[in-house]
Amino acid sequence: MTHKNIITIQLIVAIFISFLIQPFAFCANTDAKFNQLAVFSSSPDSHWQMAKVIPNSQNQFLIIDQAHKLQLTQANGNPITLLDGKQHIQRLVKFSALALHPSFAYSEQHGAFTFYTAHTELAEDIKHRNRLPLKSDTTAPFDNVVTEWQLKSTDTGFVLEEESKRELIRIPSPNLEASINQVAFNPFIKNWQKHYGLLFVALPSITGLEQHPLYSGSVLRINPASFGLRAYTVPTDNPFTLNNDIHPEVAATGLGPVQTVHWLKENVNQFAVNNGKTTSLVKLGDDWRQVEHQDKQAVELANISNMLYFRNSALNNDMLPFVFVMKKSDSWKLAAMSLSAMTLPTEIMPIPNEIIKANGRPLLFKGSEGELLLLELKTKSLFTLSGFIAAKTIEHAAPDNATPVATNSNNLFIILIILGLIFLAGFMLLRKQDRFKDAKKLLNSHYARFDVDQDLNQLHLYKRHQEVASKSLSFNQVLRCEVSLNDTVIATVDEQTPFSNSAEKAVNNAFKEEKRHKMVDDKVRKVAMTLLNQDKKTDNLCLYLREGNQRLTKMRYEHVQSQVIDWLWHLSYVVAPESTEKRLITEKPVKPKPSVKKVVSTPVPTPASPVQHVQNDKPVNSESLPTSAQPRPQDQQINKSDDELIDSLNKLLELKNQGFLTEAEFENSKAKIVLQLTQTKK
């Protein structure tokens, strides 16, 4: 059954049932309420500043308090201090943001148990290699620093790996007003997609510097994976990489006092920015410092919590999937809206003052079982939303012979169950057919393989399932090549970064380490390559893609590894011939072949009886010599000599095929054997 047929059947059933349930009217759900799950134990002097829920845990949270301590807290237990900021960071002023890597809960993937912090510290070394450069007329006594940390999972919980601290980027700050407000990842990008694992940094504007590309309110986008001596890399498709006036890390600028960034599920190149008063849609590459960008779409939205993508039919918010807590007239309400359509917020339900005080600081999270959690930082209390009723009817005046309301409700409940089962069956069929839809879409949008044409000095790029090259590039057109393994760049070759034997070893080690991991159902293994040509355009190749136990590309993993390394060496000799060292070829050990004695035994002389011999000066072809079936008595001695000749030539041919004899040696030996047998017969 095709997608079109399934959708048509579902629409017909939905229209039919809509006529059945037309007499029923619905009102807002007033039976949902927040129930308290826990009150976390901590010191009375500990004031929580920020929190993140640990995925797939029983309501465990990472907390940073006012004393600059990172703690692991849970409902039934005392908090565990994982990190004391004052001890680990010199000149620390404050922490300002916290984020978990999207692969935090996947122990076998890159980014497992990894989290990131942003803090402000007193600047000391203005020439620090990770510090973004500024113009000489801008003074910055502070640094905003993004740091990567690693936790280690133990039987009793998590502990911090002391040596895991890794500084990513330093952003100079003229004052404390410009502290980083958010570090985060796009939660809608899957781990096999191109932009998975890119870190976003929200930097608010500074009064008096509204025209500065960095301090006018900007969002930065970097790849936090290290590469060589670089603590991070800049994605090649960042919008300002070719603009000398704007740092290449910047993804959008001129946004004003940015507080939070929220991503749209429908478009990876668009996000919503809240500045404390309004929420606006932003595209990658937007520069709102210019007059023509001031007509941006915005919705007034102040005094709100974080936004959470939480689509739930019980909340009647299928079209308004982003939920948040909003303060209105000193009271808090649960609300929802659509970011893609920028609709006005819709109030779902009020929240009692005993749950959130007027000066409260609520945060919303999704629990391990998909439930909606509310964490109140002021009171350190955790609540969950419960008590949903699917629908509630409004009673109308009815004639005496009318069916009671309770009976109608039961019929409606049965109809809704049937409708739900039909749509569930359709969804399961669609899901079965679309299991690899996203992966195949990626493959169809990228080149699938390449080959190097030494005669034409060209690189041929092929689309999936095509034997004719879709595009050809001369070697001189390629300025840069990046190779990534699971979206982590493992090799870069350009004029400034030639390939080397140590780089080849690092690439081989990366491939080898990845090969050690078992390909479980959700595991994805991807090898990609990005080419930058002279026109500043990129060509993307997905050379290897495997999801679970199914390989979606033609070439094998080892073949891709070998071909990529050969190409990197070749490109390095083209773009950086003088600085590229000589490649050291390590030959694989060859199994020794069985030794064959080269000495050819002298043929046994024929008997003295007279034998008629026919002289033939043409070369003897051992493969074309016939063998007699049953020789006649008068031909036995002739056949015996012929057999000896054939046997000797066969042995000689075998030595040649095994590489023990050259062509000249083979011809000389063959002539000697023929001559010797001829003389013997005479």
Same structural domain for residues 484 and 557?
yes
What angle separates helix 636-657 from helix 663-681, to the nearest 10 degrees?
170
230 found inside a domain: no
Q: 408, 432, 456: which is the final residue of a domain?
A: 432
Per mean pLDDT, which range of 33-37, 153-157, 205-209, 365-369 is the poorest?
Answer: 153-157
Per mean pLDDT, which range of 359-363, 394-398, 658-662 is the poorest?
Answer: 394-398
Same structural domain for residues 485 and 532?
yes
Same structural domain for residues 441 and 428?
no
Q: How far is CA 385 from CA 332, 361, 372, 578, in A?
A: 15, 17, 6, 66
Which range marks the domain in which residue 658 is found?
A: 604-682
pLDDT at position 409: 44
Cα–Cα distance for residue pair 568/562, rounded to 1 Å: 10
Same structural domain for residues 441 and 417?
no
Q: How far is CA 206 from CA 140, 156, 173, 260, 291, in A?
A: 12, 45, 9, 16, 19
pLDDT tens-digit series, residues 170-196: 999 988 878 999 999 999 999 889 899
Question: 590 is written with which tokens?
Answer: 């060859």
Residue 664's pLDDT band (cuts 50, 70, 90): confident
Same structural domain for residues 568 and 625?
no
What angle separates helix 3-20 from helix 405-433, to the nearest 10 degrees?
170
Q: What is the DSSP string of 50-92?
A: EEEEPTTSSS-EEEEETTSEEEEE-SSS--EEEEEHHHHSTTE
Residue 17 has pLDDT above 80, yes or no: no
Same structural domain for residues 546 and 666?
no
pLDDT at position 342: 81
Residue 499 has pLDDT above 50, yes or no: yes
| Residue recorded with tokens 């030539």 | 649
Residue 2's pLDDT band (cuts 50, 70, 90): low
Same structural domain for residues 537 and 614?
no
pLDDT at position 325: 94
Question: 345 is written with which tokens?
Answer: 């917020």
Residue 439 has pLDDT above 80, yes or no: no
Nearest to 79 by CA among 88, 87, 69: 69
pLDDT at position 623: 43
Question: 320 is written with which tokens?
Answer: 């308004």
428 found inside a domain: yes
Averaged confidence pLDDT in the chain: 80
Burial of 512 (0-12, 13-18, 19+ CB in 10 A): exposed
pLDDT at position 156: 75
pLDDT tens-digit series, residues 399-421: 334 333 333 445 566 777 887 78
Question: Is 166:229 a contact under the CB 8 Å cutoff?
Answer: no
Residue 528 has pLDDT above 90, yes or no: yes
| Residue recorded with tokens 């000249």 | 664
Q: How far is CA 361 from CA 37, 236, 477, in A?
A: 17, 38, 55
Same structural domain for residues 671 and 563?
no
377 found inside a domain: no
Question: 55 is written with which tokens?
Answer: 């995925």
Residue 16 has pLDDT above 70, yes or no: no
Nearest to 276 by CA among 291, 259, 292: 259
pLDDT tens-digit series, residues 574-609: 999 999 999 887 655 545 555 544 444 444 444 444
Q: How far is CA 103 from CA 39, 70, 191, 523, in A?
A: 28, 20, 8, 11
Question: What are the φ/ψ torsions at residue 66 (nearest 5 degrees)?
Answer: -70, -20
Q: How far is CA 368 from CA 59, 76, 154, 265, 373, in A?
A: 8, 16, 20, 21, 10
Question: Is 436:547 a contact under the CB 8 Å cutoff?
Answer: yes
Same structural domain for residues 417 and 443?
no
195 found inside a domain: no
Question: 375 is written with which tokens?
Answer: 């964490």
pLDDT tens-digit series, residues 211-242: 899 999 999 999 999 988 899 999 999 999 99
| Residue recorded with tokens 């391990």 | 368
Same structural domain for residues 463 and 415?
no
pLDDT at position 611: 39
Residue 297 has pLDDT above 70, yes or no: no
Nearest to 118 by CA among 82, 43, 170, 58: 170
Question: Is 258:181 a contact under the CB 8 Å cutoff?
Answer: yes
Tally of structural domains, the chain: 3
Cα–Cα distance for residue pair 341/297, rounded to 1 Å: 10
408 found inside a domain: yes
* Other CB atoms within 10 Å distance of the CB of residue 200: 19
Same structural domain for residues 417 and 447?
no
Q: What is the DSSP string of 494-534?
A: SSSS---HHHHHHHHHHHHHHHHS---TT-EEEEEEEEEET
Q: What is the DSSP string of 133-190?
A: P--TT---SEEEEEEEEEEEEETTEEEE-GGG-EEEEEEEESSGGG---EEEE-TT--
Residue 286 has pLDDT above 70, yes or no: yes
Q: 404, 432, 460: which is the final residue of a domain?
A: 432
Question: Is 132:171 a contact under the CB 8 Å cutoff?
Answer: yes
Q: 537, 555, 575: which is the final residue of a domain?
A: 575
Residue 437 has pLDDT above 50, yes or no: yes
Burial of 71 (0-12, 13-18, 19+ CB in 10 A): buried
Same structural domain for residues 567 and 629?
no
Cα dihedral 186/192/198/200 (nearest 10): -10
Burial of 610 (0-12, 13-18, 19+ CB in 10 A): exposed
Report the percentage of the chain scoring pLDDT > 90.
Answer: 41
Cα–Cα distance for residue pair 30/52, rounded to 1 Å: 29
- Radius of gyration over alpha carbons of the chain, in Å? 37
Report the percentage of the chain scoring pLDDT > 70.
Answer: 78
Mean pLDDT of 473-502: 92
402 found inside a domain: yes
pLDDT tens-digit series, residues 298-316: 778 888 899 998 887 667 6
Mean pLDDT of 629-647: 59
Cα–Cα distance for residue pair 187/197, rounded to 1 Å: 9
pLDDT at position 28: 43
58 found inside a domain: no
Residue 209 has pLDDT above 50, yes or no: yes
Beta bridge partners of 374: 364, 383
| Bigger pLDDT: 127 vs 116 | 116
475 found inside a domain: yes
Residue 200 has pLDDT above 90, yes or no: yes
Mean pLDDT of 532-560: 89
Per mean pLDDT, which range of 193-197, 287-291, 550-554 is the poorest?
Answer: 287-291
| Residue recorded with tokens 């048509």 | 8
